[in-house]
Copies of this chain bind each other. A is one copy, B any other.
Amino acid sequence: MTGTRVPIPTLERLATYLRVLIEAREAGIETLSSQEIEQHSGISAAQFRKDLSYFGEFGKPGVGYSVPGLIACIERILHLDREQPVLLVGAGNLGAALVNYPNFKAHRLRIAAVFDNNYVKIGRPFGELVIEDIARVKEVNAAIGARLGIIAVPAYAAQEVADLLVEAGITGILNFAPTLLRVPPHVHVRNVSLLQELAVLSYHAVEEAACSNGLLARGGDDGI
């Protein structure tokens, strides 16, 4: 974890501001107030000002924040000031959703190669790419130089894919497989767990229903 200076919650908020700012730019808006940022990000104006204060001086009183200026700044912090190639592993439905995702380009992210281990799929077109053999990922990435990889394969195959990605030079993995990946300390993993998200929602959704019916919810007495 050496080199990690900006804490993850701050990075997450920066990424959210970046989305809001890119939307504003696409709508032709040149300045935003911290209140407008709050409205579109759900993050308080005070938190926004606090986050930015760590990175220097931004914004003019009564004018607001320059949209292109702030985009450039956040892009620099997140290393998105130049295009970041991304390797995608898994040419299934989820992979198809990812390669067709419209917002990558505005964020300077580009899926540069897609891999699978299914010989029926290898060599076939996938969006604007051609599916490559996962066994060749190191060789392919020697030319691309990507640091970021997305794992969109079943859980049983995810660790093997992670190992191959790490060997190919990937240091940041977005993992959609519902399993814990073991990676060296210099590699960062973010897990997107659909089941975990739904399970948390299930608690709240039913809890709300019970409360609105005046029932005492089970398991709800904990005040941790």
Contacts and interface: CB of A to CB of B under 8 A. Distances in A.
A211 B194 CA distance: 33
A19 to B, nearest CB: 6
A130 interface: no
B202 A172 contact: yes
B224 A54 contact: yes
Contact of A200 (B15, B93, B211): B15
Contacts of A162: none
A190 B199 contact: no
* Complex copy number for this chain: 2
A172 B199 contact: no
B201 A188 contact: yes
Main secondary structure of the interface of A (DSSP, over half): mixed
Nearest to A197: B190
A135 interface: no
Contact of A6 (B8, B98, B212, B219): B219
Interface string A169-202: 0111110001010000011101011111111111
A77 interface: yes
A119 to B, nearest CB: 21
Contact of A12 (B14, B77, B196): B196
Interface-central residue, A14, A100, A195, by most chain B CB under 10 Å: A195
A163 interface: no
A190 B201 contact: yes
A208 interface: yes
Contacts of A150: 198
8 contacts: A79-B207, A93-B96, A97-B97, A104-B195, A147-B202, A147-B206, A147-B208, A188-B205
Interface of A: 2-8, 10-12, 14-16, 18-19, 40-42, 54-55, 76-80, 84, 86, 92-94, 96-98, 100-104, 107, 109, 147-148, 150, 154-155, 170-174, 178, 180, 186-188, 190, 192-212, 217-224
